[in-house]
Structure 1
């Protein structure tokens, strides 16, 4: 598919088929994504791939910790400390849309918890990716990282695969670090589920809206 089709069809998939993803395919998309730009070409990304028994062990340990309420403080703030508009409304629309498709009624805490736990099942995806960054990198390198992550997601679409980037893993970065043997001098940025989307999973029908250009673009006066 061309890049515009990949951009339009990329979405966060929350239900995957068990179809395995060959290592050659993973290497191809990661090599393509590594062409992402970075300041002075420093390429500040590190990727840890997990599959099979190791992935299952990580799922079991993190699910148990989450159910026990044993989350740890995230090492960076993903969301604003104080929500305001228009961001609060967009966040709520996304959450309400997801929960409606998942059949989670408002106020049903048990069902909401079950849906959140799906993050730690990798939504049944056969591949989990974890991304870390050296702790001494500054904000510019985090901008670079975003471009790298987007490149992975678009390359996946080009190969007929789908993804779900997940900050939820940062609530258990201690377990992720221990199970996967991540270095202490690197910070967990996020996880990502990768595989073939399951069209029968209702939440995969979620298509989030995007603001019109007039809301975020200002054109200068033409000469």
Structure 2
């Protein structure tokens, strides 16, 4: 059931398991007790009283997230969200990873929560690349040392590639590449080096590029490209 709900774009697999545990999922008008419950063609599935259509073909979109939006479906502080900014007519989608409120750039969206989970796994080895503007005196040797990983406030971060692109006064632009992408990782690591991040733009996620997408622009990845880049998608 949890996998079926994720494929249907209701939520990530983990969140779908939580929905089952909370008693919010019914199959053929009976409460679902176990997330591994099998769904057959023609079955009726309800989540919180609302019917859920069977999973559509897997689709993926590139979205240029602007700063000022949070990557969540519901925000307790009622801040503007990515999902409220999407054009009407789009099926329910979930994000592949997140970008925080003040970050911008490439955000992948999919109608397949199971695919989102797969693409977030560090075991994929997919590189996430960013352009990062910092304030502070740049020591290129310290930047290079990040390739060995770094521990910040007791949290161990994996190897990070960080190179200086340009510098003007106390401001500099860096290109940063990493494979884990933990919450606020770049900001925390840069702060540990004495840098303040004033702008953070994700330019790529694995083989997918931000390219020329304008802010808030959305573009679907062609099915052939999706199949070539993600086997069995």
- Larger-gyration structure (1/2): 2
Higher strand share: 2
**TM-score w.r.t. length of structure 2:** 0.23
Higher helix share: 1
**TM-score w.r.t. length of structure 1:** 0.23
